[in-house]
Amino acid sequence: MPHPVPIPGSVKGRLIEAGIAQFERHGYEHTSVLDLARDAGVTTGALYHHFGSKLGLYEVIREEMERRMTDRMEGAAAALGGGRAGVRAALLVAFDAAVRFGATRILAEPRPDAAPDPVAATVERLIESNPVAARCVVAAWRGALMAVADGIDPGVARSGIAWVMAMPEEQADEAGGGPAS
């Protein structure tokens, strides 16, 4: 169910901002309702009123971040005409966006609610010929995001995705099997 964008500075808006910061810093499991309310400058009752629970707040944040990622992924893949290059661009564009939005841990950690995974579904559509490959590259993408959340330089983590998604000729070059000069 879509949630309207809250007015900046409103109670709902402050709860979302606090949720992004807390879930990003500590993950879902290690974030408490009390911490969320304190950081938003509201009571726990306000959180329950607007979102029903900590999980309700998390779902709103996660779904919005996933929507932003899948929109970018689809656009990047379409711009390159699909194929392996399109999937690579999709993953890198979404990685960069997740870093920019400060949502690396949020998008990397498993969902606590067993909801469908729109990022994985998007990549599966992009790699429709090999669903196992899609699972592997999504796992690599999430691993790179978690590395950033754990303090690894984003450029280093990004290079890991680029390496996993390297074009066959790039892999041959890295292995020393490229064209002779």
Q: What is the mean pLDDT of the chain?
A: 90
Integer-rounded Cα Rg, in Å, for the chain is: 18
Structural contact between residues 39 and 97, judged by C-beta atoms closer than 8 angstroms: no
Portion of the chain with pLDDT greater than 70, in percent: 87
55-61 contacts: CB < 8 A, separation 24 or more? 55/112, 55/113, 57/15, 57/16, 57/19, 58/19, 58/23, 58/28, 58/112, 58/113, 59/113, 59/115, 60/3, 60/16, 60/19, 61/16, 61/19, 61/20, 61/23, 61/106
- Choose the weakest-confidence range: 43-47, 60-64, 168-172: 168-172
How long is the chain? 181
Q: Report the pLDDT value the prediction gives residue 177, as an integer from 0 to 100.
A: 46
**Is residue 34 predicted with pLDDT exceeding 90?**
yes
- pLDDT confidence bin for 165, thresholds 50/70/90: confident
Cα–Cα distance for residue pair 177/105, rounded to 1 Å: 37
**Is residue 173 predicted with pLDDT exceeding 90?**
no
Structural contact between residues 56 and 12, judged by C-beta atoms closer than 8 angstroms: no
Question: Tens of pLDDT along 117-126?
Answer: 999 999 999 9
Cα–Cα distance for residue pair 46/15, rounded to 1 Å: 9
Tell me the one-letter amino acid at 179: P
Please report, to the nearest 10 degrees, the dihedral formed by the alpha carbons of residues 140, 142, 143, 149 taken in order.
150
**Is residue 37 predicted with pLDDT exceeding 80?**
yes
Cα–Cα distance for residue pair 155/118, rounded to 1 Å: 25
Structural contact between residues 115 and 66, judged by C-beta atoms closer than 8 angstroms: no
**Is residue 1 predicted with pLDDT exceeding 80?**
no
Q: Report the pLDDT value the prediction gives residue 181, as an integer from 0 to 100.
A: 37
Question: Tens of pLDDT along 70-89?
Answer: 999 999 999 998 889 999 99
